[in-house]
Chain A
Amino acid sequence: MDRFAAGNVSEPGAAAGNSPEFPLKSVPLQPRKWGISMKNIRNFCIIAHIDHGKSTLADRLLQATNTISDREMMDQVLDDMDLEREKGITIKSHAIQIDYRSPAGENYTLNLIDTPGHVDFSYEVSRALAACEGALLLVDATQGIQAQTISNLYLAIDNDLEIIPVINKIDMDGAMIDEVKDQIIDLIGCKPEDILLASGRTGLGIDEVLEAIVEKIPAPAGDPEAPLQALIFDSVFNSFRGIIVYYRILNGALKKGNKVKFVSTGQEYEADEIGILKLKMTERNEVRAGDVGYIITGIKNAKEVKVGDTITLAGNTNPVAIKGFEEVKPMVFAGIYPVNTDEFEELRDCMEKLQLNDASLTFELETSQALGFGFRCGFLGMLHMEIIQERLEREFKQTVITTVPNVSFIAHTTKAETIIVNNPTEFPDPVKTDRIEEPYIKAQIITKPDYIGNIMTLCLGKRGILINQSYLTTSRVELIFEMPLTEIVFDFYDKLKSQTRGYASFDYHPIGYKDSDIVKMDILLNGDKVDALSALIHRSRAHEFGRKLCEKLKELLPRQQFQIAIQAAIGAKIVARENISAMRKDVTAKCYGGDISRKRKLLEKQKEGKKRMRQIGNVEVPQEAFLAVLKLDE
């Protein structure tokens, strides 16, 4: 392909200042008028494993095109949630429009759609990819291809995206450029010269990346005159504006004031404000086919906006939904309770607010004998659960107890009823149960051959079945297992990490339900069943699990003025027991002038700690004990 072919097509409607005598970056671009031709639009995303430098590369693209000035530059501007920056992962995807003038002097609009990089969010990734024509496949020169890269790459290929391979961090010690090139060639079958080399840190190779985007990624195809068809790929909540919906227009155009309809929900809204996504939202009167934009309609609840849904005009009686839409289904369930029972209403309020900007969080009221009123929450995965818990604590200042997580089981009763079990308390009486099904996943692990043995032991111990083993290169092997999802929920990630010294990457996809021998394990404290500690687990693992859980609780429960018996039971059968002996004495000997404030401070601290405990029967249980099950091997 002629490198400058695209530059030969000059558009009459293109921006002023489009003359070749101005070299790139020497003068600021003139403000571009609305209506750059579809031929000069490129919609793309970046596929990368966590920590492979996606956000840094994105930053460099913004800087190189003056989309953002150096002064405005905060590292990783696209990750704007505190939590994202701290965890170094992108949780919510965002989009930004880049004005780019090619070396040939042609002006382009590049829409960069940022995608989440974690396995919990793969549906969101797939919708973001569907809004693009191309993707940068970013691979860390020191790490090589990882499982996440491959699974997202497959999603991109499924969506017919043009792939531009880029090796990042080539300036680092330990960069294995040739080896990584071989991996990429094996994977996508490209030519060695198609692979770009870059460093997000130093800015090396950024110009070449920009050039490749306009040269290789096709311009959007679509009919600006056809009825409006726009793909929702994300939404964010703004406390002043309500929900802001991000979309990519495939066909037609959206004008300010249009009455629009969301196809899957059938809801109609007025387009109060529309525009494009610069570093900040930039209002426009019209957004046309091929472009990426935002719409504000006064929607207050994120539940009304479904990622993957299609926006059309209200008058469209025969709307065509964009394929690939799915209702996002939670994979992992857990109870969330206020630490203090009287803070339930406050928590409800916060959960509702949180759901406004995270529609993938589902929750319903539940009551626990141990914990009182709370919520049964559905999460996309364990990371999502962790994020929700942290956001409740940080953004909403809630102190919450999260109970043992579980997956969704299907129980078939002897009366031929089918019960979806999202909570151990819903688990039917074994006598009345015909059979139980549990969800399975296909797990993909990429690692060094040295760790195959450890991974095999780990996955087989987690009831996994090896489906395939293939060498990607001599030093990288891909293992595919079928495993019960519930085994991933407990302590899989940490173990995988420790068993492979971090040299393994992991991804999974649900593959349906299978019959399974699942039992309900209850925990009793001084004879009182603690429903919040019940777990659903495979019979073969129940005894060991019960024993470890009792041991862990022994560590986590503070000694009290009486003995505490911790028991694990399946039905009426006790399978494990630990005792915490009584505290014999808790009184300071001396309490005179100088002792008083020291002692008061000590007891005040103790009181603070107790505020984070729940009274169950007569036993005080600290918050962290409810998640003991996740830390059995620590």
Chain B
Amino acid sequence: MSGIYIHIPFCRQACHYCNFHFSTSLHYREALVKALGEEAALAAASDFIKPEPVATVYLGGGTPSLLSGAEIDFLLRQVRASYPVAGNAEVTLEANPDDLSTGKLEDWKAAGVNRLSIGVQSFFEEDLLWMNRAHNAVQARKGLELAVQYFSNITLDLIYGVPGLSNDRWKQNVQTALELGAPHLSCYALTVEPQTPLDKMIRKHIKEPVDAGLQSEQFLLLMDWLQAAGYEHYEVSNFAKPGFRSRHNSAYWKGTPYYGLGPAAHSFNGDVRRWNIANNQQYIRAIRSGTIPYEEEVLTPIQKQNEYVMIALRTIEGLELKKLGKEAQQQILKQATRHVARGLLIVDNARIRLTKEGKLFADGIAADLFATE
């Protein structure tokens, strides 16, 4: 089973922390949507991914919710026309709270969307302003209240570790999400990516830098609250009630093939990773001429192993030793020892998992377990 990702590279305004590919000019919107449909056909005709049922479709961005209902319908039709999408496929759409209207919700549902991922980030005005989000606190709450009337499978994005976000306000954010009945939460520590407006503002001392101590504190609190509320912490930043894990994202973490449509979208077939050009105009031009503008890397066995280690360690299942060769197992266990001793890793049943404390240091630990060429 494979997954399809569709990248909608448009936003109304730029969040200061975002380093994804998007444009705030909607000038090429129509042409781009058309090109996305064409890429689906071109991709399906190529042999990059074996023809197999598509289990998940994910419309991400950018801001897919700023497209019209008809455009979403068009895209999903194009995907279905090119790929054998399973009848019970999970179809997720990322939406901004200010786009949540009765009309759009109905259209999406009619088009086949059955899961919403809502970019709330915070229910407090000051945080939203700090992040330069397009919506306000009232829209966040109202939008969500409306969405739950149409969709039961809903996830919210929340951001913590934002300068000025107290532990108390963080708690209220999480509590509000729980009260509104979201069965899935993605909670991200605010990350200052290089070259983003946020990065530049911090360098110029216009904004306060993030405090790693506060972030780790809020992460630990979050784990306590959501565990108490009956959510599984199934990936470093993802929490779900039983049965509500994101099937699409889980596929990334299991290494199953996926195809990404649109500028800057990534695809992976188990051996090769491709990424489309991160430029809307050039993307459209290439697709019009019948070619997909991509670059690719062929993963070496070591790189594949390292990716597995890095990703698996972040999940609730952990790293399964039996998926690795004898030599790799020994190497990894040897490297794991001191992290086990410090209480950051647990080895049991031939699986290596991060402890609660260990989740704070997933990257450094993964690097330690890496093999080198």
Instruction: Write the residues of chain A forming the contact surface with B, with a CB cutoff of 8 angstroms.
Output: 561, 583-594, 596-597, 599-600, 603-604, 606-608, 610-611, 618
Q: Are B338 and A618 in contact (CB under 8 A)?
A: yes
In the complex, what distance in Å separates the CA atom of A589 from the CA atom of B258?
21
In the complex, what distance in Å separates the CA atom of A561 from the CA atom of B345?
14
Q: Are B249 and A596 in contact (CB under 8 A)?
A: no
B143 at the interface (CB under 8 A from A): no
Q: What string of 1s and 0s marks CB contacts (under 8 Å) between B326-366 and chain A?
A: 00000000000010001010000000000000011111101
In the complex, what distance in Å separates the CA atom of A585 from the CA atom of B306?
21
In the complex, what distance in Å separates the CA atom of A587 from the CA atom of B313?
11
Report if A586-B361 is in contact (Cβ < 8 Å); known contacts: A593-B258, A603-B366, A607-B368: yes
In the complex, what distance in Å separates the CA atom of A608 from the CA atom of B373?
10
Q: Closest 4 CB pairs between A and B?
A: A589-B188, A584-B212, A603-B367, A587-B362
Q: Are A594 and B370 in contact (CB under 8 A)?
A: no
Q: Are A584 and B213 in contact (CB under 8 A)?
A: yes
Determine the residue in chain A with the shortest Cβ distance to B161. Answer: A585
Query: Which residue in A587, A593, A611, A618 is a CB contact (below 8 Å) of B266?
Result: A593
Q: Are B252 and A603 in contact (CB under 8 A)?
A: no
Query: Which residue in B215, B342, B366 is a CB contact (below 8 Å) of A585?
Result: B215
In the complex, what distance in Å separates the CA atom of A591 from the CA atom of B246?
13
Q: How far in angstroms is the closest Cβ of chain A from B345?
A: 12
B265 at the interface (CB under 8 A from A): yes
Identify which of residues 214-238 in chain B touch chain A, using a CB-to-CB cut-off of 8 Å.
215-216, 219, 235-237
B183 at the interface (CB under 8 A from A): no
Q: Are B368 and A588 in contact (CB under 8 A)?
A: no
Q: How far in angstroms is the closest Cβ of chain A from B7?
A: 9
Query: Which residue in A583, A584, A589, A610 is a CB contact (below 8 Å) of B368?
Result: A610
Given contacts A586-B363, A591-B236, A594-B260, 13 further A-B pairs with CB under 8 A are A583-B361, A584-B213, A584-B216, A585-B189, A588-B236, A589-B190, A589-B191, A590-B188, A591-B237, A599-B310, A606-B364, A606-B367, A607-B368
B279 at the interface (CB under 8 A from A): no
B303 at the interface (CB under 8 A from A): yes
Instruction: Write the residues of chain B forming the contact surface with A, with a CB cutoff of 8 angstroms.
Output: 5, 20, 188-191, 212-213, 215-216, 219, 235-237, 249, 252-253, 258, 260, 264-268, 273, 275, 297, 303, 306-307, 310-311, 314, 338, 342, 344, 359-364, 366-368, 370, 372
Q: How far in angstroms is the closest Cβ of chain A from B102?
A: 30
Query: Which residue in A586, A600, A606 is a CB contact (below 8 Å) of B360?
Result: A586
Determine the residue in chain A with the shortest Cβ distance to B160. Answer: A589
Chain A residues, Cβ within 8 Å of B265: 593-594
Report if A589-B189 is in contact (Cβ < 8 Å); known contacts: A583-B212, A596-B307: yes
Q: What are 16 contact pairs spanning A and B, CB under 8 A?
A: A561-B342, A561-B361, A583-B361, A586-B361, A587-B360, A588-B191, A591-B310, A593-B266, A596-B268, A596-B307, A597-B266, A597-B273, A597-B307, A604-B303, A604-B367, A607-B372
Determine the residue in chain A with the shortest Cβ distance to B372. Answer: A607
Interface of A (DSSP majority class): loop
Chain A residues, Cβ within 8 Å of B260: 593-594
Q: How far in angstroms is the closest Cβ of chain A from B339?
A: 9
Report if A603-B268 is in contact (Cβ < 8 Å); known contacts: A584-B213, A589-B191, A618-B338: no
Query: Which residue in B252, B338, B363 is a CB contact (below 8 Å) of A587?
Result: B363
Report if A593-B188 is in contact (Cβ < 8 Å); known contacts: A561-B361, A587-B359: no
Q: Are B367 and A610 in contact (CB under 8 A)?
A: yes
Query: Which residue in B215, B249, B267, B359 is a CB contact (below 8 Å) of A592?
Result: B249
Q: Are A603 and B361 in contact (CB under 8 A)?
A: no
Chain B residues, Cβ within 8 Å of A583: 212, 361, 364
In the complex, what distance in Å separates the CA atom of A599 from the CA atom of B363?
9
Chain B residues, Cβ within 8 Å of A584: 212-213, 215-216, 360
Report if A596-B311 is in contact (Cβ < 8 Å); known contacts: A591-B236, A606-B367: yes
Determine the residue in chain A with the shortest Cβ distance to B159. Answer: A589
In the complex, what distance in Å separates the CA atom of A585 from the CA atom of B365?
11
Q: Are B236 and A603 in contact (CB under 8 A)?
A: no
In the complex, what distance in Å separates the CA atom of A583 from the CA atom of B362?
13
Chain A residues, Cβ within 8 Å of B363: 586-588, 599, 603, 606
